[in-house]
Structure 1
Amino acid sequence: MGSLGLGAATIGNLYRAISDETARATVDAAWEVGIRHFDTAPHYGLGLSERRLGAALAERPRDAFVLSTKVGRWLEPSDQGGSDLAIGGYDVPADFRRVWDFSADGVKRSLEASLERLGTDRIDTVYIHDPDDHWVEAVEGAYPALAALRDQGVVGTIGVGMNQWEMPAAFVRETDIDQVMLAGRYTLLEQPALDELLPLCVERGVSVVAAAVFNTGLMSRPEVGDDARYDFAQAPKEQVARARALAAVCARHDVVLPQAAIQFPLAHPAVTSVVVGARTAEQITDAAEWMAAPIPPALWDDLRSVGLLGADTPVPVP
């Protein structure tokens, strides 16, 4: 299942804690369904995601999978105590604090620490993580450092991972990155990256990994609940209403909403893969089934006819 990857934020105790055994079972299930792309970051659980992912992959052939992590948040030991839940959203002890650091030295230190936590000798893809308020530091510090490491063969490909499309477009124009991990900005719910970023990526040969394709929970279930999340917060009423309208059209074609949501981004020529988070083995198995299940072309026609998709928006074809 080369077009589907596992995002490992949830096994870093995003929102609530899970056991090491549950995390391991999730990664094992991903492997069993054919997933060979695994994405993590120091930010996820203050390093817990990297440690758990590394342990789960330790006995797998290293050349058989693609591993990505991120730079930009240095983990500094802290004695503040308590939980990170209210600070960073992860149910882990606040033994570290995140320090923004997009300097060349920060990139190197972060990668060394990630390699140790992951228990590996190399990382295939490294993303500059959420430099929203740090453009100058990221483009003058982190990017040249990563480009040099790429040139030296220390890392494979480099890119930027963000929850917006505008700054990634600037990176594509002004640097020589290989990939963009685009979270939530090209989904069945909304496509703000369609007009500018994605055509630019096609033009420059930059691949796009679509993340948060369920908009962090809003489209992750066949039925949209009142408590659904959107962009890591309570979903606004208008977004809930739109997701429910999408789900209703899907149901008319015997398709569930997450099935359409997971397949939709891959119709664009810039998008090479989709990464989804999963807390349990069942969730990643469901995602794999949704990715593989056929969708009748009439569904996409129906979505267009009721104005839930633009006429020129690429859609999957059988």
Structure 2
Amino acid sequence: MKLDQILPGRIGYGSAPLGNMFRSVPDDEATATLNAAWDHGIRFYDTAPLYGAGLSEIRLGGLLSLKPRDSFVLSTKVGRVILDEVESGSRDLGEKGNLFEHGRPNTIVHEWTAEATERSIEGSLERLGVDRLDILWVHDIAQDFHGDVWLQKFEEARTGAFRVLSRLRDEGVIRAWGLGVNRTEPIELTLALDEPRPDGFLLAGRYTLLDHEHALQRLLPMAEEQGVGMVVGGPYSSGVLAGGTHFEYQDAPPEIVEKVRRLKQLTDEYGVSIKAAALQFSLAHPVSTAVVAGATKPSRIAEDLAALDEEIPAGFWTALRASGLVSPLAPLPGGA
């Protein structure tokens, strides 16, 4: 089933921050943020076992387990099995470093076999307190986690997770599956396969105002030709487009800081919020079905929804194109 037939709106809540990403988030702050998302009408929620070693799923389940199951769409990810035992030694998250160092100390098993996929799903259902999942993403089978051996992980997933998720979809247990990654190449490989066929993908950080040229070269034309939809994760590029200091989960380098400064100068000139420019840019591509934005402050939910609906003058998009800050291949709102 196509993503646009499943997702209830163009914006969802990304719950990675609830896994204590970057900092320890108090329980009451997490609860208030989730309640704000629900009260503002958000009905699409994305999470993953990786986020805080299950903490994000537990916190999200505290809200969703109390709601009618047919009233929301829920996606999580496979590829990590969370054990009850405490992790010994340092945790290797590839380029993401110590991103969830404030999460739970539970051991995380990184595995994409058929057996691990089924265990991952069972663990997610238990932590979330729900009886079914709508969308499952195969998580992080890419270079940023696995370096030169990422193709081995992809093959493990192709013969394991892909087949399990295809079967579950065909049996009606889940509604859709795809890849949830921070790189384009695994999705390109998947779309080139004769089978199994994904329904969509979640691409984090690769279709934003700051980073989109690579996705436009091969991935998005392939997806558009095949009618496969994209959920844009990380539309604020880890926060630097929303007033933060992180880009790609690390301190933003000087060239990114300078590009944000130029973007901010342009948005100020036209009286536009940079959040609105970021969200509306990410949604302008015909493959884009929705964005998922993370937050740990209740006020951020209202900001995101206002940004989605903010009226941006056509002159801004024309000026953005003329500035060279976006690829000439990138579709812009209003056809600029």
Assess same fold via TM > 0.5: yes
Contact 1:219 1:243 in 2 (8 A): yes
Does the 8 A contact of 2:12 with 2:290 survive in 1?
Answer: yes
What letter corresponds to residue 219 of structure 1 in structure 2? L
CA contact (8 A) 1:41 1:69 kept: yes
Matched, 1:261 2:278: yes
- The offset of 1:78, in angstroms, is 3.0
Aligned to 1:98: 108
Structure-2 change in CA distance of 1:90 and 1:285 (3 Å): farther
Where do 1:38-53 residues align within 5 Å?
38-53=45-60
**1:12 equivalent among 19, 23, 41:** 19
2:163 equivalent among 122, 144, 155: 144
1:316 aligns with 2:333: yes
- Partner of 1:123, secondary structure, is coil
The answer as to 2:129 corresponding to 1:119 is yes
The answer as to 2:95 corresponding to 1:74 is: no
How far does residue 82 in structure 1 lie from its aligned partner after superposition?
Answer: 9.4
Quote the residue 1:229 is aligned against: 246
Q: CA deviation at 1:58?
A: 2.1
Decide whether the 8 Å contact of 1:82 with 1:93 is kept in 2: no
Contact 1:83/1:93, CA 8 A, preserved across alignment: no
More helix by share: 2
1:56 aligns with 2:67: no
Question: Matches of residues 198-213 of structure 1 in structure 2 within 5 Å?
Answer: 198-213=220-235
User: What's 2:35 paired with?
Assistant: 28
1:214 corresponding residue in structure 2: 236
Percent identity over the alignment is: 40
**Once the two structures are superposed, what CA deviation does each residue of 1:8-56 show, in whole Å capped at 9, x if it has no partner?**
0111211111222211111111112221100000001111110110111
Q: How many residues align?
A: 312
CA distance in 1, matches of 2:24, 2:88: 17
Deviations 1:226-249 (A, max 9, x none): xx1110001111111111111111
2:4: which partner in 1? none
Give the deviation of 1:76 after TM superposition: 2.5
Between the aligned partners of 2:89 and 2:35, the Cα distance in structure 1 is: 31
Report the Cα distance in structure 2 between the residues aligned to 1:300 and 1:9, rounded to whole angstroms. Answer: 30
* Equivalent position of 1:275 in the other structure: 292
Deviation readout 1:67-93 (Å, 9 max, x if unpaired): 000000111233347997974524134
SS of 2:86's partner is coil
Distance 1:236 1:286, change over 3 A: same
SS in 1 for 2:237: coil
Q: Gapped runs of 5+ residues in structure 2?
A: 1-7, 143-149
CA contact (8 A) 1:266 1:273 kept: yes
- Three-state SS of the structure 1 residue aligned to 2:75 is strand
Alpha-carbon separation, structure 1, partners of 2:292 and 2:159: 28
Q: Which runs of 4 or more aligned residues in structure 1 lie more than 6 Å from their structure 2 counterparts after TM superposition?
A: 81-86
Measure the CA separation in 2 of the matches of 1:167 and 1:12. Answer: 25
Aligned counterparts of 2:99 and 2:251: Cα–Cα separation in 1: 16
Offset of 1:272 from its aligned partner?
0.4
Aligned twin of 1:187? 208
Work out the CA distance in 1 between the residues paired with 2:16 and 2:90.
17
1:99-129 per-position Cα deviation (integer Å, ceiling 9, x unaligned): 1110001000110110010000100000000
What amino acid is the match of 2:199?
A: D
Could you say what secondary structure the match of 2:329 adopts?
coil
Distance in 2 (alpha carbons) for counterparts of 1:53 and 1:176? 29
**Which string of whole-angstrom CA distances, capped at 9 and with x for unpartnered residues, describes residues 251-308 of structure 1?**
1100121210011111111000000000111112211111111111111110111111
CA contact (8 A) 1:75 1:97 kept: yes
TM-score of the superposed pair, with normalisation by structure 2:
0.89
Contact 1:2 1:34 in 2 (8 A): no
Partner of 2:100: 89
Instruction: Quote the Cα distance in structure 1 between the aligned partners of 2:80 and 2:288.
Output: 26
Secondary structure of the corresponding residue to residue 97 of structure 1: strand
Determine the structure 2 residue equivalent to 1:164: 183
Whether the 8 Å contact between 1:129 and 1:160 is mirrored in structure 2 is yes
Quickly say closer, same or farther: Cα 1:52–1:83, change in 2 above 3 A. farther
